[in-house]
Amino acid sequence: MKFSELAKYLQKLEETTKRLEITDILTDLISNLSPQETDKAIYLASGHLESAFAGVKFNIAEKMMTRIIEQAFSTLKETNLKGKVSTLYKKYGDLGSVVFELKKSGKSDLSITKVYSKLLEITKIEGTGSQEQKATKACALIKELDPLSAKYVTRIILDTMRLGFTELTIIASLANLLKDRKLAKKIESKFYIYPDIGLIAKKIKTDGMGGVEKIDVETGVPILSQRCQRVSGIEEIPERIKNMWAEFKFDGTRIQMHFDKNKKPKNDKDEQSDLFGTTKNDFMIKTFTRNLEETTHQYPEIIAAAKKQIKADSVILDGEGIGFDRKTGRFLHFQETIQRKRKYDVAETAKNIPFKYLIFDILFLNGKSLMDKPLKERKEILKKVIEPGEVISVDEQFETTKLEELRKYYDLAKSKGLEGLVVKTPEDSYHPGARSFSWVKYKTADENLINDSIDCVVLGYYSGKGVRSKFGIGGFLVGVYDNEKDTFKTISKIGTGLTEEDWTKLKLMCDKIKIKEKPASVEMDKIFKPAVFVEPRIVVEIGADEISISPTHTAGYALRFPRLLKFREDKSPTDATTLNEIVKMYKNKNKLSKNS
C-alpha cells in the first residue's frame, strides 16, 4: 500500500469521534494491508515505529521541527517564511497542519514500507552532528511526500498523532477482521503477555488466530502488570478473600525485571552506569515500568545486585522499587523516589537516593512461565531464586483468615509510615493486565471518605486569571477511566493544591500533548470545555473531601474540594482509578454515613 493511501485512512480516523466508526475504519485498513506491511502500518497509525517497550524515539522537539519545516519550504516565494510558519502554528496549534497548509499540492508513490524505513533511519542517527543529520533526512522526506502524508509524518516524528484510539480498539478491529468479536478477549490476553500490537496484527494477518496462539512470554518483553481492585472498607476484604495474604503497600514505583543469561545485550553500546563508573553487561538485564517504559539505566544498584543475588538462567520478577534514607533506613515518599527517573547524573542521584527492590512475585523461570501456578507456590520458588542481600529482597507477607488480625497488620503498616496493604489470594494465578479481586488494596481506614486518593487523567486546562495569568493556566479538568467502554469520563475541575512550580510543570506537560479538539476517547459535557484540550496521557493523584452525585460530569460523580497531591509519571492512563472504583467509594461513603 502507498503511504498516501494510509494517510487517507488516518484522515478518516481523525474526522470521527465515534468508537464504532473508528473500529470499522481500522478493520478496513488492516484488510487492505499485506502481511509484510501490517505491523508497520499499525505502528505508524498509532504514532510509533515499534512497540511502546522498544523505546524507539526521534528526539526531535517542536523547535527543531519548526526549523526543518522552514528548510523544507525555503524555495517558496514567501518574504517572511518564518513569520508564516509562526502564524499558521498559532492558528492550528499543530505543526502537521502547518506542513499540510504550506505544501498545498504534490504526489507521492512512496510505499508504507519505504516511509517506515526512512523514519527508522532518522531514529538511529547518533553522535556528533546527529541533530543536523536528522534534520536533513526529515526535511528530504517531507519534500518527497504529498501534503496529507507530510502532515501525518510530521506528527509521527513529534509524537503528536492523537487519533483517539488505543490498542484495545485495534484488538476489536482484529476480531472484526476474523469475523468473530468473541475472539477479542483471546487476542487481548495475548497482548497482555506480549504488548506489541503491530506484531499481533501481523501474525493475525498472516496466520489468523493460529499465529497469535503461538505467542508466549519472552524475556525482554514486558508483561502487563496485574493490578489491584479497591474495596469499600477493610471489612469487605475477608468477604472477597477467605485466606488473606497481606503485604505492605509501599509508596514506590512498580519495577518488572527481566534477567536472561542466554541473551546478549542488543549491541556493544549497551552499558550500565554503576556507582563507580561504567560497566558492560555480559547478558540481558532490563527493568520496565508498569506503562512499559524501559528504565534499566535508572537503577544501577539494582542491576549490580541482580548479578549477585539472582540464582537462575532466566527470570522475570515483579516488585516495587523504593528510595530510602541511608542514615535512618526510612522509606522515602513517592515524590522523592521519582527523582530517580532521569537520564543524566544517574550515579550521583543513586548516591543521594539509594534504592531497594522489594520483589513480591516471580512470573517466569528458566524458560517457563510460572503465571498459571498459585501465588503461594510462586513465592516459594521466588525465595529459592533470590539470595539474601542489601538491595534486593523478597517482600514479606502476613497470612490470616481473621479480620481483627488484618486490622492489626494494617495498623502496623500505618505505624511504619506506609500507604496501607495489598491483600492477595494465595491460591490464585497471576492475571496479566487485569484489575481483579484476586488482589485488593486498602490504603486508608476510610473514616473520612477520601483519606484515600484518586488517580485521575488530565483532559485539558483553563486559562489563568489574576495572579495565575503569569502561568497561562489557572485550572485543569480531570477524568477517570471507564474500562468497560475504554473511555475517560470527567469527574472534576481542579484549581488548588498546586505550587508555582507545579503550575509551571503541568502547563509544560500539557502543552507537549495539546490538541485542537476533544479526543474520541473522552466523554465530556460542553460546559466543562477547557481552553486547551490535551491527549489523555498525564496521570495525577488527587485528594478530595467527598464524592458526590453529579448530573453534569460524565462520570456521574464529582469530587468536592479536590486538590493535586502528586504527579504519577510512573502510571499510564489506563492505570487511573476506574469508574467502578468511584461507584464503590461513593457507596462506601453512604454506608459510613448511615452507621455514624
User: What positions carry a catalytic annotation?
Assistant: 249
On whether the CB atoms of residues 142 and 68 are closer than 8 A, the answer is yes
Q: Please give the C-alpha separations between residue 367 and each of 142, 305, 336, in angstroms, as whole numbers.
A: 45, 22, 36
191-213: buried (b, 16+ CB within 10 Å) or exposed (e) per residue? bbbbbbbbbbbbbbbeeebebbe
What is the crossing angle of helices 197-207 and 167-177, to 10°? Answer: 0
Strand bridging mode 227-230 / 435-442:
parallel
Question: Nine-digit cell at 53?
Answer: 517497550
| Residue written as grid cell 558492560 | 280
Q: Count other C-beta atoms under 10 Å from residue 500's C-beta.
A: 11
**Residue type present at position 134:** K
Chain centre distance of CA 443: 23
Residue bearing cell 524505513: 117
Helices 167-177 & 183-193, crossing angle to 10 degrees? 140
- Residue 478 to residue 536: CA distance in whole angstroms: 9
Distance (Å) of CA 7 to CA 39, 154, 205: 16, 12, 20
DSSP letter for 561, please.
S
Judged by phi (left if over 0) then psi (alpha if -120 to 50, else beta), residue 349 lies in: alpha
| DSSP one-letter code for 344 | S
Concatenated DSSP letters of 101-159? HHH-------BHHHHHHHHHHHHH--STTHHHHHHHHHHHHHHHS-HHHHHHHHHHHHT
Residue 570 Cα distances to 218, 222, 392, 509, 538, angstroms: 23, 15, 20, 14, 10
